[in-house]
Amino acid sequence: MARGKDGETTKAKVERGGVADEAKAKAIELAVSSIEKQFGKGSITRMTDDAADHEIACFSSGAPSLDIALGIGGYPRGRVVEIYGPESSGKTTLTLHAIAEVQKRGGVAAFIDAEHALDVNYARRLGVNIDELLVSQPDTGEEALEIADVLLRSGAIDLVVIDSVAALVPRAEIEGEMGDSHVGLQARLMSQALRKLTGTVSKSGATIIFINQIRMKIGVMFGSPETTTGGNALKFYSSIRIDVRRIAAIKEGEEVTGNRTRVKIVKNKVAPPFRQAEFDIIYNEGISREGDLIDLGVDAGIVEKSGSWFSYGGERIGQGREKARTFLKENPDITARLMEEVFLAKGLKLPAPATGLARPVAVPRVAGAGVAESRSPSESEGFENE
């Protein structure tokens, strides 16, 4: 029989396998016990344990087709999201709808207005409760990101929106002279901030949405010349990146009343990426949820279209899309039932309405820590590529 260098037969080694496995299991248990003693209970756990939540919590975006395209029924909680696109494409409108949805479920939202351009009346028309919305208009990028960090560490916030990355101007640039060169300063600021924020976002169960702008790369011969501001760090740290484009104007006669908008999920860590959604954004009204539902219902065969008539559940709901949309707006119970059927047809369930979305947690903070200062071991290290 074959023997190894130590003189032990292969058969003997196989018979000892059970003992070796027991020793390995015991060593793992000791390691886990040591980690929990050093870093706290729950710092490491098996994915099969009941303590691990396999279903990703989410909240609605306000657009049913976007919720479906995201793959889980809305924006994921405890993640970083980036929304970017050209000017006037609907980026801020998307985030205001997200704020309204969070508030409907009893959550708390904050809007960090680095562009100093928030239209309060427009936000109110979109369903945002202005009295409950936390708003900050910081002067520097460091101040904006530090405010976001403090809010997230409180454990009581559910959504933070930063509008926009391009407006997060480093303090050195604010205090400098016009024409001074500050190469890579904003990219370094974003890289430092995201190393701190990512761990905090995950622990608090909140969502942070960055609005970003598009710039053109000079001298690009092949491929898209478009890029986003703030370096590459946000691209890496984002769980979801959404490209928003205005594709057509909506008209009543000669008057333009809104935009047809297409969104593409260019990155998705919680579901398959590259899905698209199209919906209407009506001026002074926001996303047309009812119009979006009609389109989804027709695609799924739930809403029947015969000529110009739309029917649902055997009943005619309107002649023409606009009248069908008005009918759904006036009958919220029917709208809710249609939405549930559409989501079930897509293999999804509606995010459960709940009060107090945030999970209060104690997130330790280093005294006097700023955006550019040291991080705790639990916070993500991430990429230095800027």
Phi, psi of 257 (to 5 degrees): -110, -5
Report pLDDT for 376. 37
CA-CA distance, 103 to 245, in Å (whole number)?
26
pTM of the model as a whole:
0.82
User: Angle 146-149-150 (CA atoms, 0-180°, nearest 5)?
Assistant: 90
Report pLDDT for 202. 93
Helix (H, G, I), strand (E, B) or coil at 274: coil
Q: Which of 269, 224, 203 is nearest to 242 (CA)?
A: 269
Point out which residues pair with 252 in neighbouring strands: 255
Cβ atoms of 375 and 191 closer than 8 Å: no
Report pLDDT for 352. 61
Point out which residues pair with 58 in neighbouring strands: 76
Report pLDDT for 135. 97
Report pLDDT for 324. 95
Joined together, the tokens standing for residue 354 give 């709940």
CA-CA distance, 223 to 226, in Å (whole number)?
9
**Mean pLDDT of successive 10-residue segments in the chain (386 residues)?**
52 56 90 91 73 75 96 96 96 97 96 96 96 96 97 96 95 84 88 94 96 92 90 96 96 93 97 96 95 95 94 92 94 94 90 51 40 38 38
Report pLDDT for 41. 84
Q: Which of 96, 129, 151, 120 is nearest to 281 (CA)?
A: 96
Phi, psi of 38 (to 5 degrees): -80, -40
Report pLDDT for 90. 94
